[in-house]
């Protein structure tokens, strides 16, 4: 196994020239041919495949991420996205005909070109360091943009491996990595971009959006939020317990789309708790702490933030609750809480904490969820088909899954994104191509039509022109 490359902050002095080079490459039209983009995508595929062991190692070091989860949600995820993109790129990049109107189509041959937006900046988050950086990059390459990637410094080993892959496999004049934290990102934001694609917290999203507004730079924001889950008394207790737990143990709950709180019918609550106990025993027979299949919290700051949330809860811990600061371990912890103002619900937990708020019926649950001012990234529902559909029709969210945790987010064929405070814009599949593409309307007026178009020129004499 080759050694993990070191993570080094990019020198400030080089940031402006790096961005200028990427812009110059875009203006050289090098990335315009679809064939060029396909070659780069295929190289990226092989870069990921050749370095998959290194990625596994990096994610293990950064987040204690289990090997299986890294293949599933990082390496394999991005490789599948590339396959899907390369399969469809020619069709998506083709000119589109405008809606048919006989006279208009005969006279002006209207069509919509798919033009790349230009030189773009992609800023990634720490929790799925490869997926959330390479995923948007796939879209940028496919659309014909050039790009600078700024991975999260929160997962430095994964950031360094991505830099190695991008440097070794892709055209260095078109795609490059800038490493660093707030100072480097701030320096990047001072450059001119044709789009900024940001994944991370709403607080930083606000900083990015404000800065971009100064130069009218378009922004895509993939943010977080407080996602509700609903469990009615008609739900299958075992299924709900296993699937809600899965959504909170994957990556130790550091998943933007996992549920932040569960509104659960009082009648089914005891059965769901019992099933959660059984499921945890089954998932981690030797305890989560000893299991190689359970991730760690990314750093001490995040660990202490989660610990504080748990210390301050007025709820009753019914499962778990143990922590090990030295190992950044937090046990999957289920807490029955009394109100929405509980420390476990007030803010997005982004960890393996599962507050359950008992309610009397679905109407109450929906009312409570809708009282949360911010619009969530995901909504999850367990109950009868009619009840689940009621949840969907009476709530808002970026996406939703019925009968499961965040599964909608893992389908490569659907756009993924938030709404309102959970984000603006979406990507994955065709949406990844679209988000970096400008739909440019082109008309062509034929020379022969001059006699028919003469009506538009002054002087406006004659019956019709005078009216
Ligand atoms: P973060 O906002 O702290 O950091 C994200 C990126 O922003 C990093 O690259 C970081 O270097 C940069 N950054 C941080 N502070 C900055 C500043 N002051 N100025 C400029 N850039 C700055 O987010 P995070 O901690 O990596 O991720 C956690 C949050 O992201 C959660 O809220 C989660 O829900 C959200 N998230 C959303 C998605 C999604 O797809 N919608 C995915 C993952 C995470």
pLDDT at 103: 77
Pocket mutation for ligand 1, best pick of 7, 15, 73, 125 (most atoms within 8 Å of C-beta): 125
Phi/psi-derived region of residue 106, left when phi > 0, alpha when psi is between -120 and 50, beta in every other case: alpha
What was the ipTM of the complex prediction? 0.96
Residue having the nearest C-alpha atom to atom 40 of ligand 1: 222
More confident residue, 467 or 59: 59
- Ligand 1 atom index nearest CA of 256: 34
Structure confidence by residue, pLDDT tens digits, 81-94:
999 999 999 999 99
pLDDT at 8: 96
pLDDT at 462: 59
Residue range 145-159: mean pLDDT, rounded: 98
Q: Is the pLDDT of residue 100 over 90?
A: no
- Ligand 1 atom index nearest CA of 224: 34
Place 2 in a pLDDT band, splitting at 50, 70 and 90: confident
Label the pairing between strands 228-231 and 175-177. unpaired
Give the span between the Cα atoms of 203 and 49, in whole angstroms.
35
CA 372 to chain CA mean position, Å: 22
pLDDT at 167: 98
- Count of H-run helices and E-run strands, the chain: 19, 20
Alpha carbon of 203 to ligand 1 centroid (Å)? 8
Residue having the nearest C-alpha atom to atom 43 of ligand 1: 256
- Ligand 1 atom index nearest CA of 204: 2
Out of 19, 78, 174, 256, which one is annotated catalytic? 256
Alpha carbon of 222 to ligand 1 centroid (Å)? 9
Structure confidence by residue, pLDDT tens digits, 40-78:
999 999 999 999 999 999 999 999 999 999 999 999 999
Q: Is the pLDDT of residue 383 over 70?
A: yes
pLDDT at 77: 97
Out of 74, 222, 275, 348, which one is annotated catalytic? 222
Place 99 in a pLDDT band, splitting at 50, 70 and 90: confident
pLDDT at 57: 98
Residue pair 119/147 in contact (Cβ under 8 Å)? The answer is yes
Alpha carbon of 123 to ligand 1 centroid (Å)? 8
Q: How many CA atoms lie within 13 A of 89 on its CB side?
A: 26
Structure confidence by residue, pLDDT tens digits, 253-279:
999 999 999 999 999 999 999 999 999
Q: Is the pLDDT of residue 108 over 90?
A: no
Indicate if 222 belongs to the active site: yes
pLDDT at 102: 76
Structure confidence by residue, pLDDT tens digits, 327-379:
999 999 999 999 999 999 999 999 999 999 999 999 999 999 999 878 999 99
pTM value is 0.96
Pocket of ligand 1 (CB under 6 A): 123-127, 132, 150, 152-154, 181-182, 185-186, 199-201, 204, 207, 222-224, 256, 348, 350, 377, 418, 423
Residue range 155-177: mean pLDDT, rounded: 98
Pocket mutation for ligand 1, best pick of 162, 200, 205 (most atoms within 8 Å of C-beta): 200
Place 38 in a pLDDT band, splitting at 50, 70 and 90: very high
Structure confidence by residue, pLDDT tens digits, 182-228:
999 999 999 999 999 999 999 999 999 999 999 999 999 999 989 99
Alpha carbon of 343 to ligand 1 centroid (Å)? 21
Least confident of 33-42, 100-109, 349-358: 100-109
Place 305 in a pLDDT band, splitting at 50, 70 and 90: very high
Both tokens of 251, joined, read: 């990556």
Residue pair 5/167 in contact (Cβ under 8 Å)? The answer is no
Both tokens of 123, joined, read: 């800023």
Contacts with 269 (C-beta within 8 Å, 6 or more apart), sequence order? 336, 356, 358
Cis, peptide link before residue 256, omega less than 30° from 0:
no
pLDDT at 463: 53
Cis, peptide link before residue 454, omega less than 30° from 0:
no
Alpha carbon of 104 to ligand 1 centroid (Å)? 47
Alpha carbon of 204 to ligand 1 centroid (Å)? 6
Residue range 236-261: mean pLDDT, rounded: 98
Residue range 128-155: mean pLDDT, rounded: 98
Element (H, E) at 34: helix 34-50
């Amino acid at each position: 196994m080759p050694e993990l490359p070191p993570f080094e902050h990019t020198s400030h002095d080089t940031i402006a020239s790096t961005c200028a080079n990427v812009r110059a490459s875009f203006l050289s039209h090098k990335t315009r041919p679809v064939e060029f983009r396909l070659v780069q995508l295929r190289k990226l595929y092989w870069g990921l495949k050749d370095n998959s062991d290194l990625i596994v190692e990096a994610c293990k070091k950064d987040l204690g991420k289990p090997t299986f989860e890294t293949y599933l949600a990082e390496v394999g995820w991005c490789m599948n996205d590339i396959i899907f993109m390369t399969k469809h790129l020619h069709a998506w990049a083709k000119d589109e005909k405008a809606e048919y109107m006989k006279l208009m189509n005969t006279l002006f041959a209207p069509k919509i070109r798919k033009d790349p937006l230009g030189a773009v900046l992609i800023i990634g988050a720490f929790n799925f360091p490869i997926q959330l950086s390479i995923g948007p990059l796939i879209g940028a390459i496919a659309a014909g943009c050039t790009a600078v990637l700024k991975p999260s410094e929160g997962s430095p080993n994964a950031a360094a491996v991505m830099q190695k892959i991008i440097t070794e496999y892709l055209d260095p004049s078109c795609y490059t990595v800038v490493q660093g934290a707030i100072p480097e990102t701030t320096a990047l934001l001072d450059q001119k971009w044709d789009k900024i694609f940001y994944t991370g917290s709403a607080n930083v999203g606000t900083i990015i959006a404000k800065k971009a507004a100064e130069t009218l730079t378009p922004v895509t924001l993939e943010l977080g939020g407080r996602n509700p889950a609903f469990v009615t008394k008609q739900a299958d207790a075992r299924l709900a317990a296993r699937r809600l737990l899965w959504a909170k143990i994957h990556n130790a709950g550091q998943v933007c789309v996992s549920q932040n709180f569960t509104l659960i019918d009082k009648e089914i609550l005891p059965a769901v708790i019992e099933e959660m106990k059984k499921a945890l025993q089954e998932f981690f027979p030797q305890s989560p702490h000893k299991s190689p299949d359970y991730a760690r919290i990314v750093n001490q700051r995040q660990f202490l933030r989660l610990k504080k949330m748990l210390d301050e809860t007025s709820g009753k811990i019914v499962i778990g609750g143990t922590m090990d600061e030295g190992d950044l371990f937090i046990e999957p912890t289920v807490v029955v809480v009394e109100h929405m103002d509980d420390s476990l619900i007030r803010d997005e937990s982004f960890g393996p904490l599962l507050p359950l708020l008992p309610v009397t019926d679905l109407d109450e649950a929906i009312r409570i969820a809708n009282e949360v001012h911010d619009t969530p990234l995901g909504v999850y529902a367990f109950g009868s088909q009619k009840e689940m559909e009621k949840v969907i029709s009476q709530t808002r969210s970026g996406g939703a899954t019925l009968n499961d945790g965040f599964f909608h987010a893992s389908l490569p064929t659907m756009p993924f994104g938030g709404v309102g405070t959970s984000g603006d814009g979406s990507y994955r599949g065709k949406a990844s191509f679209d988000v970096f593409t400008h739909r440019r309307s082109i008309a062509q007026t034929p020379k022969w039509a001059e006699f028919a178009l003469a009506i538009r020129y002054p002087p406006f004499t004659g019956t019709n022109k005078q009216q």
